[in-house]
Amino acid sequence: MLLLVLLGSFTDDIDREIALQLIYSSSAKESISLSGLAERCQCSTAAIHRFARRLGFEDFRRMKSQLTATGKVRKEQLVHHIELTEPDKIKERIHFLAKDQYRDAEFTEAVRKINDLVTSYSRVVILAAGYPQALSLHYMEDMITMGKPVYALPIGYQMNMPEWTPNTLVIVISITGRLTDYFHKQFQELQESSDHIVFISAKECMPAGRENALWLRIPVIGDDEDANALLAEIFRYMKYDYYRRYGRI
């Protein structure tokens, strides 16, 4: 629900900030007060109540209660699903769906390096076109459940890079590389200004000589339903690896 607020192209800046602060505080929702949230968002308590009503709640108290209850259920579901996950089965599906050369060891190492970066940053921002962004929603929700703020921001036809807050890792998802080709200048500037940036794509998007970029290659040629299914499996493995090595529930 909060992620969908962030992804809305017509979301008010205040609503987006409220959703962000709730995501940042996801591991301690029980302790969030109305006045404390308003102070973090630099808005009035009335704005918080309006935000809650737009989401269908009577007021902030009801919204907080529902978010807390939902968070507890999601934690139980996540632990259950992870315990049933067979990582080798995920890799088998990736291999089956691959339309280009796939090396298991290369993939596993790239995921480990990405998750090592993810755990070292306070927050992770995903930049992607509409459909890959939608495919990442379950991954983002489960990462937030594990206490790591991971969220996406909408990309319009004229992309303006936000002013990143310190300690933010940017993950760029572009199945075929069209997104990074179209916004080549903006992504090049982003890479030059970031400590680290991750590309998940079938195309190597990193300029030569840049050591702050990491590439997880999607083994596809073109953009079809198999490529979309493969990306979903990649997210599943990334989430599994993070939980096993860094997850806190």
Domains and CATH numbers, the chain: 2-79 (1.10.10.10), 88-246 (3.40.50.10490)
Regions of the chain where pLDDT drops below 50: none
Residues 149-203 pLDDT 10s:
999 887 765 555 556 667 889 999 999 888 888 888 888 888 777 888 899 999 8
Question: What gap in Å lies between CA 137 and CA 140, rounded to an integer?
Answer: 5
pLDDT value of residue 210: 63
Pair 196, 117: CB distance under 8 Å: yes
pLDDT value of residue 161: 54
pLDDT value of residue 195: 82
Roughly what angle, to the nearest 10 degrees, separates helices 104-120 and 225-246? Answer: 60
How is residue 87 written in tokens?
């990582």
pLDDT value of residue 30: 58
Question: What gap in Å lies between CA 20 and CA 165, rounded to an integer?
Answer: 12
pLDDT value of residue 76: 94
Query: Which are the contacts of 31, defined by CB distance < 8 A and separation ≥ 6?
Result: none
pLDDT value of residue 10: 64
